[in-house]
Amino acid sequence: MNQEYTRSEAAALLAALRQIFSEVHVADAASGAILNDQADKPAGGYCQVPALDGEGRGWLPMGGQNMAMTLYRAVTVEHRACLIVLSLRLPNTLPAENREANALRRQIAQYHEEMNRDYMTGAYNRRYLAEVWQPAMAGRTPCAVLVRVNEYAAVCAEHGRDAGDNCLNAAAGILQRAVGADPARGILVRLEDGMFLLTADASAADLTARLRQALDDSRHVFSISLSRRAEFTVAIAAADWAEAGSWDLMLALAEQRLADA
């Protein structure tokens, strides 16, 4: 069961925890909105809300410039469901002989990278797009190219999810060649079902030309089973930043063009 606190008790608890942890917050359990220490008013900002166990506990390793382990505990403050959020940051500079801390840093960095990837194709996911790529493109004019693998839904329905995954894997390998290996210049993102997004700091015409060249130079073959092969086709639609002026409008424009294709 969740521990229950009055507002004054919650504030005293947070003050005590700040003597131990790098950052301490109380957040709304549903939205993740950061609250003041009395848990009755927004304090600005949001935190990620993880899956909690049966006792109301959870954790997330956080990456980036400063590695941290963040712990979560479900509590109730004056009948409001909340989370106590505790972050313990590793120092930026660790002694070379501190093997345990360095090993933890490497593991957290690997976990953070995996959290940004689609588990099946290895392409980036929406989280990386929103939290890393889009902020990095501030002040620049990227493009959006949407690609639909036309056979994906039918392959899943007729031959099962494994065959559909093979189809998307084959497509992702070709699409990745179009954006290149430098994530600072362009990335491949898997969206829902058989959809991919290619976005780069380039014009839509240039990225589309690279994409078509990669498709022309590759075999569109995937495995249905050990003995059966099939081919896939794609539909392509693109939009430029100059046409829309924002991410949401640019993606909506590309989606509309793909629907009309």
Per-residue pLDDT 10s for the chain (261 aa) are: 568 999 999 999 999 999 999 899 999 999 999 999 999 999 988 888 888 998 899 988 765 555 678 899 999 999 999 999 998 887 666 566 677 767 777 777 777 777 789 988 999 999 889 888 999 999 999 999 999 999 999 999 999 999 999 999 999 999 999 999 999 999 999 998 899 999 999 999 999 999 999 999 999 999 999 899 999 999 999 999 999 999 999 999 999 999 987
Euclidean distance between CA atoms 238 and 175, whole angstroms: 14
Q: What is the pLDDT of residue 91?
A: 67
Please tell me the predicted confidence (pLDDT) of residue 106: 76
pLDDT at 116: 86
pLDDT at 5: 94
Per-residue pLDDT at 65: 55
User: Looking at residue 97, what is its pLDDT?
Assistant: 63
pTM of the model: 0.68
234-240 and 221-223 beta bridge pairing: unpaired
The four Cα atoms 202, 204, 208, 211 give a dihedral, to 10 degrees, of 40
CB 67 within 8 Å of CB 109: yes
